[in-house]
Structure 1
Amino acid sequence: MINLMPIKQEVEYQFSTIFENIDKDIELKYIYPITHTYKNISLDYLKEKYIPLNKIDEDKYDGFIVTGAPIEMYRYEEVDFWKEIDQFFKENELPTIYICWAAQGALYSKFGIEKYKLEEKLFGVYEHEVKEKNPFIKNSFYAPHSRNTFNKKESIQKADLTVIGESEEAGVYMCSTRDYKSIFISGHSEYQAERLKFEYERDRGDIPKNYFVRDNPENEILFNWKNHRDEFYKNWIEFIGGVR
């Protein structure tokens, strides 16, 4: 996992929780770009628990996950680690899930697909339809979104990518190459139940849609994306095992 988020322990918790519930012997290794200036995590922590991105050729992997990062309003070339991660995007041939900003960055790097600013932040949990038969998702599902930008569906289709999951309100959630080795996800099924509540309380902006019972922050959270999350990652692990 190439973890691009500032608070790395939260992402570690999210994915360790997902993979520990899959009945497979999974070893999850964390990777970081060396060209980024880190403010929210110590270099000692990174050196102890993470592998530098420029050293990944020294080991063998079955697949990658590349996380999002809170930098979507920057041009890609303005991001300090862009050259490093762009090289990975272009050279990587293993099965990979690209999430949120990483999905947008990989789509731009690989296919020249631009991102565009939304009129207002997409924030909440939305229902999605499965648009194409695929190895990962069988039925309609819910997933959280928290973003200010989007990719146009027509650009995705023009690049000969398959739209797997889509929402009328949230747009394309998941698309992939025809061989499913590159999967691009605009939302965050990996989120723990409380994550959007944390963002809402931190930012004091709009209430996340379809997240609290009756959209009331005083009520309980509707953790209705868990089944989709578990199904998707279990099936993806099965898929990459078959690619070897």
Structure 2
Amino acid sequence: MPIKVPDLLPAKSKLKEENIFVMDESRAFTQDIRPLKILILNLMPLKQQTETHLLRLLGNSPLQLEIGLLHTSTHTSRNTSAEHLKQFYKSINDVKANRYDGLIITGAPIEKLPYEDVTYWEELSEIMEWSKSNVTSTLHICWGAMAGLYYHYGIDKYIMEEKLAGVFTHSLTDPHEKLLSGFDEEFVVPHSREADIRKTDIEQHPDLKILSESEEAGMYISASNDGKQIFVTGHPEYDAFTLRKEFDRDTEAGLNPPVPVNYYPDDDPAKTPKLRWRTHSNMLVSNWLNYYVYQETPYKL
């Protein structure tokens, strides 16, 4: 089934090249079906890149989706044009009266900042509070997962001595959990972050459960018992070259970043990395949409 996106969204042409069924608003208007309404709060600096990453995964679902894009109005983006934001994005004030089947909160490269020092923390807190009564289930990614755990449960992050970057092997803590349906017992996921969430802090909350972790990368997926809050510390949405772009950017900036682990063939940055986590990523998002959104949401929002 298709995902419904704004007519002129740049990501649409890229997704069509990959044979992902994308339906624009004009065609969707003629369809007699109630699509799931999914809102993406995009906190990443390169918003158009993240749009493509997430829409690629959402478009792999058999469900028909209507996508909305949200940004924080209290922060001025330096990497995305004001015209793009004005044309395709809304703020919380624009959608506050609406209800949504699902919400995705992305990461942001600000792990070292205390939450209260983030310029849009107050607005993000408002959005997360609003989501508790206006969204069926929320999927938090990377820094978004850290921020969600801090806001909803008071669980703080810990700054790492060195950035965690690479592709790491993960295992299942509870293979019978619906979110993990169809997963292999071991699978790989990209991580790119400078802070961590400790497993022991999650275990102190009876309302939370750990679903997947990695010996090298730590806690990966946790969730509330009711499935309304899903926290994913990695970047399953990344494409094959995202980590390379980040590594090259930080190298050019003189930051001397570590070479992403298990990413380049033979750990050689001169070689072309391969995408090895597509199946897991598609399954994660499809399971979230099916079991935690579609099967839980009312027909009339």
Does the pair score TM above 0.5? yes
Q: Secondary structure at the match of 1:180?
A: coil
1:72 aligns with 2:111: yes
Mapping for residues 1-244 of structure 1, pairs under 5 Å? 1-93=40-132, 94=135, 95-132=137-174, 133-137=176-180, 138-139=183-184, 140-160=186-206, 161-204=208-251, 205-239=257-291, 240-244=293-297
Q: Which runs of 4+ in 1 moved over 3 A?
A: none
- Provide structure 1 residue ranges, at least 5 long, that are not aligned to the other structure: none
Asked if 2 retains the 8 angstrom alpha-carbon contact of 1:121 and 1:147, the reply is: yes
- Provide structure 2 residue ranges, at least 5 long, that are not aligned to the other structure: 1-39, 252-256
Structure number with greater Rg is 2
Cα distance per residue 1:67-88 (max 9 Å; x no partner): 0111111111111110111122
Cα distance per residue 1:100-148 (max 9 Å; x no partner): 1111111111111111111211110001001013112232211000111
Letter in 2 for 1:182: Q
Asked if 2 retains the 8 angstrom alpha-carbon contact of 1:144 and 1:188, the reply is: yes
Give the CA RMSD over aligned residues. Answer: 1.3
Asked if 1 retains the 8 angstrom alpha-carbon contact of 2:142 and 2:235, the reply is: yes
How much does 1:56 deviate?
1.6
How much does 1:49 deviate?
0.2
How much does 1:90 deviate?
2.8
Letter in 2 for 1:156: I
Asked if 2 retains the 8 angstrom alpha-carbon contact of 1:67 and 1:100, the reply is: yes
Q: Hey, what's the Cα distance between the residues in 1 that align with 2:279 and 2:230?
A: 19
Letter in 1 for 2:124: I
How much does 1:18 deviate?
1.4
Percent of pairs identical after alignment?
A: 36
Asked if 2 retains the 8 angstrom alpha-carbon contact of 1:35 and 1:80, the reply is: yes
Give the TM-score, by structure 1 length.
0.96
How much does 1:55 deviate?
2.0
Q: Secondary structure at the match of 1:28?
A: strand
Matched residue count: 244
Q: Which residue is 2:9 aligned to?
A: none
Q: Secondary structure at the match of 1:219?
A: coil
Q: Hey, what's the Cα distance between the residues in 2 that align with 1:121 and 1:43?
A: 31
Asked if 1 retains the 8 angstrom alpha-carbon contact of 2:74 and 2:123, the reply is: yes
Letter in 2 for 1:102: G
Q: Which residue is 2:25 aligned to?
A: none
Q: Hey, what's the Cα distance between the residues in 2 that align with 1:20 and 1:90?
A: 28
Q: Which region of structure 1 is more displaced relative to structure 2, 121-130 or 31-40?
A: 31-40
Q: Hey, what's the Cα distance between the residues in 1 that align with 2:49 and 2:92?
A: 20
Q: Which region of structure 1 is more displaced relative to structure 2, 212-221 or 1-10?
A: 212-221
Letter in 2 for 1:136: L
CA gap 1:43/1:235 in 2 versus in 1, 3 angstroms: same
